[in-house]
Amino acid sequence: MDGTFSENDISRVVEADRAHIWHHLSQHKAYETTDPRIIVEGKGMRVWDQKGKEHLDAVSGGVWTVNVGYGRESIANAVRDQLIKLNYFAGSAGSIPGSHFAEKLIDKMPGMSRLYYCNSGSEANEKAFKMIRQIAHKRYGGKKHKILYRDRDYHGTTIACLSAGGQEERNAQYGPFTDGFVRVPHCLEYRKFEQDGAPEDNYGVWAADQIEKIILAEGPDTVGGLCLEPVTAGGGVITPPDGYWERVQEICRKYDVLLHIDEVVCGIGRTGEWFGYQHFGIQPDMVTMAKGVASGYAAIACLVTTEEVFNLFKDDASDPLNYFRDISTFGGCTAGPTAAIENMAIIERENLLQNTRDMGQYMLEELEELSDKYDVIGQVRGKGLFLGAELVQDRSTRVPVVEAQIQAVVADCMAQGVIIGATNRSVPGKNNTLCFSPALIAKKDDIDQIIAAVDGAMGRVFGSK
């Protein structure tokens, strides 16, 4: 930390924050007696708070975002140069960084071809929902308008995204919701015993078959889209079981349902491939992404579609309503694609996809080793540097630990200077998964430090075995 804040300055910052800032996803009563945390500076994998305390960030900015780490001058310089040349023009026109990034991104996504810029993950998902609805109107008299979403998945914070939200504690008290969204069951094999009829073998195919059952019950002529996270994030870091995705693809093709993959968390390297869906050999119709696209150096989100989807919006130029009548003001900011180009270049130059696979495997093994020591670790799962450890009171009944204990582990790590995460206000009674998503630049020493902190915290909160 370069020490540019004096004691006096920082206490003013804290007081102004306490007086005026409404923090995200926070209950503020605590700030009447304790100081809010202000993050002042970041470098590589580390951030410093207002007291100058150093933290190793094992969650990439709290919400799996800063994939290439903090303090990247090459991104800052590229954005500065671009802002001086042209900061903004509405997305009805093109921009130089906008088309360069589109070309580079599409190159990583065989089968996809068109990019729509906007500025948050929620917004990108809303665009996809709007496209599915408009296609229903254009081709099916409005009938094929229903959008399926999955239990435990999250797609954003707006009312339509919450209508597609599979996490009760995110949704509670924000209804009534938008019509035409239908829930399908989750695919968390570890909790299949809670699902009626789940088989011992071939669970993945069974879980996908539940989607088909719902399509048939709703009527295939009413279902236009299926929106899924490739690996569920805030709902418990759920890696889909073998056989699941192949069957999902088959079902979508059979019933002419557009497959929309929400890569807001997994996108741009988090799982060790450019996109989470690329682990499973499937071909989506729409892909949304946001957080890791520019690692938080600028706000940017993208909706990418196939050329087939795009063509549906230009087939009759004589009809004044026959195109995607949508705009995102800040989708025209040039800082986003400029930062995204350099973000992607860093991942390539530093071979970060390979590092993510290697370090992810190492971290997974280290967490599994911890589970030999602590019986409360029921299951460790994830892909690449996107990992979770579900904590249970008893391995045979799989009853979750109480949320206060999970929070105690997170707080203990924080006190040790390591920031980890946990599922939070997500599934009632099941906010019991510790979450890890260090930057893709993580080295063995960083992982060792994270594991040592978790080990210490688990010992203090649960005792060993």
Q: What residues make contact with ligand PLP under the rule CB under 6 A?
A: 63, 120-122, 125, 154-157, 229, 233-234, 262, 264-265, 290
Q: What are residue 353's DSSP bridge partners?
A: none
- Report in angstroms the alpha-carbon separations of 439 from 87, 328, 446: 28, 29, 10
β-strand pairing of 421-422 with 418-419: unpaired
The residue whose Cβ lies closest to ligand PLP is 121
Q: Which is nearer to ligand PLP, 40 or 105 (CB)?
A: 105
Q: Which is nearer to ligand PLP, 23 or 85 (CB)?
A: 23
CB of 368 to ligand PLP, least distance (A): 25
CB of 232 to ligand PLP, least distance (A): 8
Q: Which is nearer to ligand PLP, 162 or 377 (CB)?
A: 162
- Report in angstroms the alpha-carbon separations of 142 from 2, 135, 139, 187, 387: 59, 8, 8, 30, 40
CB neighbour list of residue 109: distance below 8 Å, 6 or more residues apart = 274, 275, 287, 304
Residue type, 198: A
- Report in angstroms the alpha-carbon separations of 386 from 43, 91, 230, 272, 360: 21, 33, 12, 9, 7
Q: Which is nearer to ligand PLP, 82 or 125 (CB)?
A: 125
**Tokens 């802002």 identify what position?**
83
Q: Which is nearer to ligand PLP, 24 or 29 (CB)?
A: 24
| Alpha carbons 292 and 306: distance in angstroms, whole number | 21
CB of 301 to ligand PLP, least distance (A): 6
CB of 397 to ligand PLP, least distance (A): 29
**Tokens 């989708």 identify what position?**
331
3-state secondary structure of 182: strand
Q: Which is nearer to ligand PLP, 234 or 388 (CB)?
A: 234
CB of 391 to ligand PLP, least distance (A): 21
Q: Which is nearer to ligand PLP, 91 or 144 (CB)?
A: 91
CB of 291 to ligand PLP, least distance (A): 6
Which secondary structure element, helix H or strand E, spans residue 203, and what is its range?
helix 203-218
CB of 235 to ligand PLP, least distance (A): 9
| Alpha carbons 452 and 418: distance in angstroms, whole number | 10
Q: Which is nearer to ligand PLP, 57 or 262 (CB)?
A: 262
CB neighbour list of residue 263: distance below 8 Å, 6 or more residues apart = 229, 230, 275, 276, 277, 287, 288, 289
CB of 262 to ligand PLP, least distance (A): 5
Residue type, 242: D
CB of 114 to ligand PLP, least distance (A): 20
DSSP per residue, 38-70: -EEEEEBTEEEETT--EEEETTIIIII--TT-B
Q: Which is nearer to ligand PLP, 123 or 412 (CB)?
A: 123
Q: Which is nearer to ligand PLP, 264 or 440 (CB)?
A: 264
CB of 154 to ligand PLP, least distance (A): 5
* Structure tokens, 280: 């499973």
CB neighbour list of residue 461: distance below 8 Å, 6 or more residues apart = 405, 408, 409, 412
